[in-house]
Structure 1
Amino acid sequence: MPAASVDSDAEFWLFGYGSLIWKPPPHYDKRIPGFVTGYVRRFWQDHRGTPEAPGRVVTLIERSFWETLTDHHDSTADKVWGTAYRIEAPRVAEVREYLDIREINGYTIHYTPFYPSDGSPTIKALVYIGTPENDQFVGPQPPQQLAEHIQKSIGPSGPNKDYLLSLEEALDGLSPDSGDDHVKDLATRVRNLEKEASGAEDRAVNGIAVANEPKKVGSRDEQEEMEK
């Protein structure tokens, strides 16, 4: 869907499908959970971390294009859940400037029909999408490889894993049907990696503790010599 301009004298609706769900834009006066169709949400966009080891964030892939790819998560729901925010006309220019700074790195502006979860009329919503043509688009990766990358990436925005786990929690809170299998699988893999890392650290600490324990000796003089 091509980019279009926004009349600064008119209100607009913004669709958030990533961090905007739990970190909303300023100056919105209405927030509605719901979904869009015709897209697939994937962690295929570089955006966090450092230039040497960028993390991953979600973007939307047009379903028709996604169906031509070999994705290791080869099934997906028909709906991409998220949240729409209404920005009133007097605040549009200010909010657009804020969003361009926050979202525009590799993302372009598109418009899509948004379907409120309460069944109210469809809304034309602005959405930022990292299309396959942008330099930060990564494309399909094996899920375990992607989870390992997310688990270890840390940048100015914080640990990449926090973004993933916050997204999983935010999506689960929108509706009984709003969970995302791609997000949930990666979150489960990252939690398992964290447990493995914690277990390895505990074993290392315990090994050092055992190694440093005083050895039993046969006489008081030998004990005193060891403790000096």
Structure 2
Amino acid sequence: MADHSQQLATFGANDDFWLFGYGSLIWKPPPHFDVRVEGFIEGYVRRFWQASEDHRGTPEAPGRVVTLIDRAHWETLTDHHEPTERVWGAAYHIPREKVAEVREYLDIREINGYSIQFTPFIPSSDPTTPIQTLVYIGLPSNPQFLGPQDPDALAAHILKSRGPSGENREYLFQLEEALRGLGEGSGDAHITDLVARCRAIEARGVVKGVEEKGVGEGLHTVGSTDEQEEVEK
């Protein structure tokens, strides 16, 4: 714990603050970054197992967003999907003079169950030179972590969920599109399967729109400036 606390306090002091994004940060970068690098991390599994009460859902009707599960812990669980060997995403370098501001911004945006961890990031352009990155993860011990879910039920839940940052389905669909743009082999079978299930449900017209009772009521829709501040992982 002491080592982690020290790393939290000193990370970025040598102009080496790198942030890894594996969810909406891929297409919604943090403020003040000056370098964006595409690549992947290993030893984790990305899953839509984190409840979202503040962006893609509400406290009364939480949506679903991605988190990372340590591979060793994932192997103790019963999952409907096989894991990918790598979790693709984007790493952002924050200049030293902006680190405090960005850290404050990220800490505020990640209060809904996420905690700071550190992991090596492997740039696709130079796999021989890993970069130590900070990453926000919804650990299994946090109250928003939901664990394994039936894929059809999860897809249906995503389709009906909505929060201040928009429809939950947009988050899923944009994530799949963003991952495809990262390079060969950058897809995620869990994400692709959920998209296919959502499309199938939509085609059948099974799930009602977000106007159904208890979903989307009393929401404040953020503007474009505020929406840029959405940081989910």
TM-score normalised per structure 2 = 0.81
**Worse-superposed segment, 1-10 or 184-193:** 1-10
The 8 Å contact of residues 33 and 116 in structure 1, kept in 2 or not, is answered as yes
CA deviations over 1:108-166 (Å, ceiling 9, x no partner): 00000000001251100000000000000000001000000000001111100000000
Identity over aligned pairs, percent: 62
Q: Which amino acid aligns with 1:126?
A: L
- With a CA cutoff of 8 Å and minimum separation of 6, indicate the structure with the bigger relative contact order: 2
Between the aligned partners of 2:50 and 2:13, the Cα distance in structure 1 is 32
Which of residues 26, 43, 50 is equivalent to 2:48? 43
In structure 1, the residue matched to 2:29 is 24
Q: Which amino acid aligns with 1:138?
A: L
The 8 Å contact of residues 104 and 128 in structure 1, kept in 2 or not, is answered as no
CA deviations over 1:35-77 (Å, ceiling 9, x no partner): 000000000001131112100000000000000000111x112
The change in CA–CA distance for 1:200 and 1:143 in structure 2 (over 3 A counts) is closer
Which of residues 101, 126, 145 is equivalent to 1:119? 126
In structure 2, the residue matched to 1:186 is 194
Runs of 4+ off more than 6 Å:
198-201
The reply to whether residue 91 of structure 1 matches residue 110 of structure 2 is no
The change in CA–CA distance for 1:29 and 1:199 in structure 2 (over 3 A counts) is closer
RMSD of aligned alpha carbons: 1.9
The reply to whether residue 160 of structure 1 matches residue 165 of structure 2 is no
In structure 1, the residue matched to 2:183 is 175
Between the aligned partners of 2:13 and 2:38, the Cα distance in structure 1 is 25
The 8 Å contact of residues 10 and 88 in structure 1, kept in 2 or not, is answered as no
Between the aligned partners of 1:127 and 1:134, the Cα distance in structure 2 is 16
Count of residue pairs the alignment pairs up: 200
Q: Which amino acid aligns with 1:62?
A: D
In structure 2, the residue matched to 1:207 is none
Which of residues 67, 72, 86 is equivalent to 2:75? 67
Structure 2 unaligned spans of 5+: 210-233
The 8 Å contact of residues 160 and 208 in structure 2, kept in 1 or not, is answered as no
The change in CA–CA distance for 1:76 and 1:92 in structure 2 (over 3 A counts) is same
Structure 1 unaligned spans of 5+: 202-228
In structure 2, the residue matched to 1:205 is none
Between the aligned partners of 1:30 and 1:155, the Cα distance in structure 2 is 30
The change in CA–CA distance for 1:98 and 1:70 in structure 2 (over 3 A counts) is same
Between the aligned partners of 2:161 and 2:198, the Cα distance in structure 1 is 12
**Higher normalized helix content (fraction of residues):** 1
Which of residues 5, 8, 20 is equivalent to 1:15? 20
